[in-house]
């Protein structure tokens, strides 16, 4: 009996892998998946010489809501997310060995980062949010939260004395450091505007 159940499980698992990857290889030639059965693809795969992109339409509206870039393996290198489904990918993550290292968010849709997330061994350890002094940079501040086990444990507010562009540039420097250490990939969602 258990052997039959196990065999059925394996058969279902293999048959349901339409376009998915096992060990970095395509299970079949399909590069699209229809998750809700409406006849329209909701997951797409695009291949390049450096790896592949996995593009998701989460809310089935025909627009890209999430995009992941994988190298030649199965671990994500970077991703972009349109979390409020407005067509603008405001959130981006950079990964190292499949775990997030840095996350950034452009809340105001102005191509300047507003929030910066810092991860250690895949766990969120700190977040920073920029608040503008409204044309008075000396009144601008950053709120920093530190986390343990995914929960905020400490908060501090620091006057930074620089513009929104200054915060963005600081975050870009942090991203460059992470990339120098092997995190991320900068070709994600070519042609789309948004975070990063």
- Residue 110 domain-assigned? yes
Both 6 and 64 in one domain: the answer is no
Predicted local confidence at residue 58, as pLDDT: 92
Residue with more model confidence, 66 or 49 = 66
125 pLDDT higher than 90: yes
Both 152 and 117 in one domain: the answer is yes
- Residue 188 domain-assigned? no
Closest CA to 188 of 86, 51, 80, 42: 80
The DSSP result for 157-174, as a single string, is EEE--S-HHHHHHHHHHH
Both 102 and 169 in one domain: the answer is yes
Closest CA to 65 of 78, 54, 76: 54
19 pLDDT higher than 90: no
DSSP H or E run through 52: strand 51-56
Predicted local confidence at residue 74, as pLDDT: 81
Predicted local confidence at residue 65, as pLDDT: 94
Predicted local confidence at residue 126, as pLDDT: 97
- Residue 117 domain-assigned? yes
Both 82 and 165 in one domain: the answer is yes
Both 4 and 98 in one domain: the answer is no
Both 61 and 142 in one domain: the answer is yes
Q: Please state the rounded mean pLDDT for residues 34-60.
A: 89
Predicted local confidence at residue 13, as pLDDT: 34
Both 18 and 75 in one domain: the answer is no
- Residue 153 domain-assigned? yes
Residue with more model confidence, 28 or 82 = 82
104 pLDDT higher than 60: yes
Residue with more model confidence, 126 or 164 = 126
What lies within 8 Å, CB to CB, of 56 at 6+ separation is 42, 43, 64, 65, 66, 67, 68
Both 26 and 46 in one domain: the answer is no
Confidence of residue 160 (pLDDT cuts 50, 70, 90): confident
- Residue 190 domain-assigned? no
- Residue 186 domain-assigned? no
- Residue 37 domain-assigned? no
Predicted local confidence at residue 113, as pLDDT: 95
Both 76 and 160 in one domain: the answer is yes
Taking the C-alpha atoms of residue 140 and residue 74, their distance in angstroms, rounded to an integer, is 41
Domain count, the chain: 2
Q: Please state the rounded mean pLDDT for residues 109-132.
A: 94
102 pLDDT higher than 90: yes
Q: What is the extent of the structural domain holding 11?
A: 1-30
Q: Cα 111 from chain centroid? A: 16
142 pLDDT higher than 70: yes
Both 19 and 47 in one domain: the answer is no
- Residue 189 domain-assigned? no
Both 160 and 115 in one domain: the answer is yes
21 pLDDT higher than 60: no
Both 50 and 113 in one domain: the answer is yes
């Amino acid at each position: 009996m258990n052997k039959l159940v196990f065999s059925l499980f394996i058969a279902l698992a293999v048959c349901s892998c339409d376009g998915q990857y096992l060990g970095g290889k395509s299970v079949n030639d399909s590069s699209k998946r229809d998750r809700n059965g409406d006849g329209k693809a909701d997951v797409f795969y695009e291949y390049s010489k450096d790896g592949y992109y996995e593009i998701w339409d989460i809310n089935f509206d025909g627009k890209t809501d999430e995009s992941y870039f994988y190298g030649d393996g199965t671990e994500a290198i970077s991703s972009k997310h349109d979390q409020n489904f407005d067509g603008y990918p405001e959130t981006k993550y950079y990964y190292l060995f499949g775990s997030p290292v840095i996350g950034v968010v452009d809340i105001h849709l102005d191509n300047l980062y507003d929030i910066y997330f810092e991860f250690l061994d895949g766990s969120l350890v700190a977040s920073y949010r920029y608040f503008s002094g409204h044309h008075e940079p000396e009144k601008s501040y950053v709120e920093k939260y530190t986390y343990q086990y995914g929960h905020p444990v400490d908060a501090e507010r620091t006057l930074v004395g620089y513009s929104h562009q200054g915060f963005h540039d600081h975050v870009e420097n942090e991203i460059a450091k992470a990339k120098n250490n092997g995190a991320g990939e900068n070709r994600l969602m070519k042609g789309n505007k948004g975070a990063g």
